[in-house]
Structure 1
Amino acid sequence: MTSEADEVLLRRLTPGVIGILVRRGADFAAAEDAVQDALVAAVRAWPGDPPRDPKGWLVTAAWRRFLDAARADASRRLREDLVVEEPAPGPVPAADDTLQLYFLCAHPSLTPSSAVALTLRAVGGLTTRQIARAYLVPEATMAQRISRAKRTVSGVRFDRPGDVATVLRVLYLVFNEGYSGDVDLAAEAIRLTRQLAAAVDHPEVAGLLALMLLHHARRAARTADDGSLVPLAEQDRGRWDTSAIAEGVTILQAALARDRLGEFQAQAAVAALHADAQSAEETDWVQIVGWYDELVRLTGSPVVRLNRAVAVGEADGPRAGLAALAALEDSASGPAGPVPRRAAVAAYLHERDGDLEAAALLYAEAALAAPNLAERDHLTRQAARLNALRRD
């Protein structure tokens, strides 16, 4: 078995090794397969005979596997002029192709779920089994998803300029998956975003990293001992990770100082205001409403407008929040259906306004549409609590 340090090193080296193979003439799918085979060989060989140059060892092993596969595949004979000789052993180029892999894995022709899976495999260095466990799907299902994604991007030119916004969206999706099984996807998303921030000087990359750190800082306080959800206002703020908060705020301030505001910076500013409050009652809701106004301007997202309604309800009272929610409802229906969690927000605002009957009904409605068991449990308990209060 490789040590934990070896596993971390292998994951860090994976994208660079794939990039080298692609630049030598392998298509992306073949390069990724060869590197995965080389990683398996490293797991077996390194504990007894650790290499002096780990990256060079992986490149050599992966290239040999690519050559073997190319020569064995009759359908690839026309491409053998690209791979007739194995390069001489020696130091590998220092160039880092990780950024190009980010862009390739976040290609617009891929579905979001496929882009996330391919990013975790090629850039994150996770195995198909690890990704499948994280998403709670059979390994065969995840293998098919990754295989289709690799075929989709195999014909894409590796040096084509990519879209940073698409890459950030994929990383944000990874982060929002949280964690399950033996892979912590939130922590993995932070690791990958740090990697991207080191390669790309862009305020929105910094904004996303700050947002992840600020949200992740509250993780320990989000669930009770029995696994139930703890709302933000009820969380024990002494359990928040102050070092992650300080790092997130520092990164955010530097990004905002560049005066190129984007949605991730604005979201991070909201998270920073929550983190700055010593208690829920001290939260600066007026500033938060201002940041949500910026987010509405930047995105026009119904989900942002929904969150803004909550903030308005805290800053100006529940009636004002319900009015903002009503304005959203007028435009909430359409091909995409109603806005997720609208019923839960309406329930909360009605409860604060004293209408316990409407609030209980809305909490029950929200529970039926909850995206996961923990949230469904929480909303069901809220409905039961209000029904009990009404009976007393």
Structure 2
Amino acid sequence: IIDMLALNEDKNVMYFTASPDDPGQRYLFRTSLDGSTKPVRVTPASFDGSNSYYMSKDTSWAMHTFSKFGTPPMKEIIKVSDHSNVKTLVENKALKEKLATEQLPTHEFFTVNACDGVELDGYIMFPANMDKSKKYPIVFYVYGEPWGSTVQDRWEGNSYLYKSYLTQQGFIVASVDNRGTRAPKGRDWRKSIYKKIGSITVRDQVDALDAMAKRWDVIDTDRVGVWGHSGGGSSTLNLLFRHGDKYKVGIASAPVPDIRLYDTIYQERYAGNPNTDPESYDNTSPISFAKDLQGKLLLIHGTGDDNVHYQGSERLINELVKHNKQFEFFSYPNRSHSLREGKGTTLHYHTMMANFFEKHLLNK
């Protein structure tokens, strides 16, 4: 069970979202409150992907939103009893017609195993009309921390469009959920990274890369890049610093280089008490391994970041300078954590990242 949505005692019914077969999807289920019946899936098979519902208090009606990977969302009002359409609210027809004219990538969801057998979920996007006799550089989009999951069968908005653009330039794009991410895979999955974020999490990413390279021989393991924002920026730093033999190019956007500078409720939840568990903080913080940087790093941060504070990147810069590690750095003046304020910021941000990958991975 992912979310309990609504219940009606008079009707002896409760509705909830779950996905027993695929952690990247979401469906509506119904069950009796007294346990007299087993849960029944309400979402029809035609809505294969991610579904969300906002239900009326008496559970008779709901606003249903559906999307899947590469497919923009639709929104409708439904009668819950048979999931029949009452009124379509959003079709996104114009966007779907626009996408139909673009050279979009093919994609595939997959699973691989970490070195200890833990199953990891991922997706991979291939350039349209890819020449299977050639090898292509691959770039990973990573988050890797407990607050999110990147491998979801849903519309990703401009993130999907940006990844599609990268495939149009000649990259394979992929993402993997390492253990501990916010996926409905049980208590052990979530708890397994306690005091191990930045070590076992990035180890899973490396294991996934190795397994993927064996499965798809079009992947050029000499040209591997990675990028991420916030916790994904931290994961990017840890991958570059700890596994520079695998990851050659990385873009860390608004990362947390030293977790002692981040929210106590977040860091103490996952890393313990810094006074009694200092080793956990040392082993989790990318800054502890900055001296081992081998590849190309682009560090990006907004000076007005209200969440992952700018001083963390300043501390990392000092550490890299101390060890004479060359890197590129760009600050967005007074931008917040989302890096979206100011005319032209979003386009500039994505263009800069694409150019960095093209320079160091594609044009070789």
State TM-score, norm by structure 2.
0.30
Q: Which has the higher strand share?
A: 2
Q: Which has the larger radius of gyration?
A: 1
> Comparing both chains, which one has the higher relative contact order based on Cα–Cα distances under 8 Å and sequence gaps of 6 or more?
2
State TM-score, norm by structure 1.
0.29
Q: Which has the higher helix share?
A: 1
